[in-house]
Amino acid sequence: MKIIQITDLHLRCDKDYDAFDVNTFQSARIIIDHICHVHKDLNALIISGDISDDETSESYSNLLELTNKIDTKIYLMPGNHDSITEIKKCASISKVKSELYFVEDNWIYFMFNTKKDNSPNGFLKQDEIDIFINMLEKYEEKYFMVFLHHHPVEIGSPTMDRMIIENANILLDLVRKNKSIRGVSWGHIHNVFETNINNARLFSTPSTCYQSKPKSETFTIDRKEKPGYRIIHFSSNGDLETEVVRMS
């Protein structure tokens, strides 16, 4: 199973919109066109939030235009800048999904909605946690991959760590107790962070537009680092391999 994760597109209704000197529409188009050309064996594309920057219907229409050539299922997740209503409209198209989880072979891919109303912070919903716990108990023989928008662990950047998932300890406790959870991936922080807990690899995916400097005191643009995406390969024995690809 091969999944690609892209995140933090920050599209607006205006395709000419620049954020920190990066045209977000064109930057996303370069990455998605690259994925279409290079990864013809792709099984799923997960877009893990901050798809939009202004919550307009036009920004999501721009997304559909960008992903029109993707020949596989696309899963949309909300970030703090997104409109859940507009995401659900997108998900009415056959190949575009907005689901809590999907199952393929020996793996369950679980996509939490960490958007907290009227806040840039993340928050896990109790009903989703309950479903996740039930699935861990029901499918003991399967492996789990978790996708989030917000980060569940501190990344060493005071500004961004104020926007962490407020109740992330619930998820992290489950990771510590369940060896079947093999991966946790997120966006939001606009750079790459990696760590390990129990049997799980925890990592972030870079934005398709502007990047931030890791472990900076305040949110600081990293003008040397390029936009990118993450490839994740899942094996039937529970192993996963992953790499970040940057655009030159």
Cβ atoms within 10 Å of 135's Cβ, excluding its own: 18
Kindly report, residue by residue over 204-243, the tens digit of the pLDDT: 999 999 999 998 888 899 999 999 999 999 999 999 999 9
Residue-averaged pLDDT of the chain: 96
- Considering only CA atoms, give the Rg of the chain: 17
Paired residues of 243 in beta bridges: 231
How many residues appear in the chain?
A: 248
pLDDT-based confidence at 92, cuts 50/70/90?
A: confident
Question: Is 135 a residue whose pLDDT tops 90?
Answer: yes
Separation between Cα atoms, residue 138 and residue 121, nearest integer Å: 31
Separation between Cα atoms, residue 97 and residue 152, nearest integer Å: 24
Cβ atoms within 10 Å of 138's Cβ, excluding its own: 10
Are 161 and 176 in contact by the 8 Å Cβ rule? The answer is no
